[in-house]
Amino acid sequence: MIVAMTTLTGLGLLLGLLLSLAARVFQTPGNALCEEITELLPGVNCGQCGYPGCAAASEALVAGGASPALCPPGGAVLARTLAARLGRTLDAAGGPPLLAEIDESLCIGCAHCGKRCATDAIIGAPKQIHAVFQEACTGCGLCVEVCPTECLQLRPQKPTFESWCWPKPALVGV
């Protein structure tokens, strides 16, 4: 009994110690900028940028292969932040952020959209009218694909101080 207990405890302690030592010795230095960019990205891994997840997208951003405006959920705000952090210029200013909205007159309460939402922004039980919790919505558009009645649409939102930008100068006299 005592022998068994001490042996197993000793074995566990020894292996744990060895593993923690190995973790120190074999530590691979990660890219600090990469981690910082990953923190900035929404982290919902929706894959709309064409990379498998936000970590892969941040690697592509740091390597220079991707545009700072690659992230639809992040919108114009994120594009500007990324461009400033990476010291790159942004090609297009981008419009106001698009967020999901539900047309209550068309919603049949099928509850398909809530299951797809990566940020739990859609409220509503089956056979009840759903609503989008705008503060949580990232505008990734995953819910739009599954809506059978097309009552879920991405609609432009009122600009806030963060998201407002100068309108493009219109041509005069045309």
The residues that touch other proteins, with contacts defined as CB under 8 A, are: 3-4, 7-8, 11-12, 15-16, 18-19, 22-23, 25-28
Q: Which is nearer to other proteins, 12 or 159 (CB)?
A: 12
Q: Which is nearer to other proteins, 22 or 33 (CB)?
A: 22
To 10 degrees, what angle do helices 75-86 and 32-40 make?
Answer: 160
- Least CB distance from residue 16 to other proteins, whole Å? 8
- Least CB distance from residue 25 to other proteins, whole Å? 8
Cβ-contact 144, 122 below 8 angstroms: no
Contacts of residue 168, Cβ cutoff 8 Å, sequence gap at least 6: 93
Q: Which is nearer to other proteins, 29 or 64 (CB)?
A: 29
Distances from the Cα of 120 to the Cα of 32, 54, 172, angstroms: 30, 18, 45
Cβ-contact 88, 33 below 8 angstroms: no
Q: Which is nearer to other proteins, 21 or 84 (CB)?
A: 21
- Least CB distance from residue 1 to other proteins, whole Å? 10
- Least CB distance from residue 29 to other proteins, whole Å? 10
Instruction: Please give the Cα distance from 94 to 56 (Å, whole number).
Output: 23
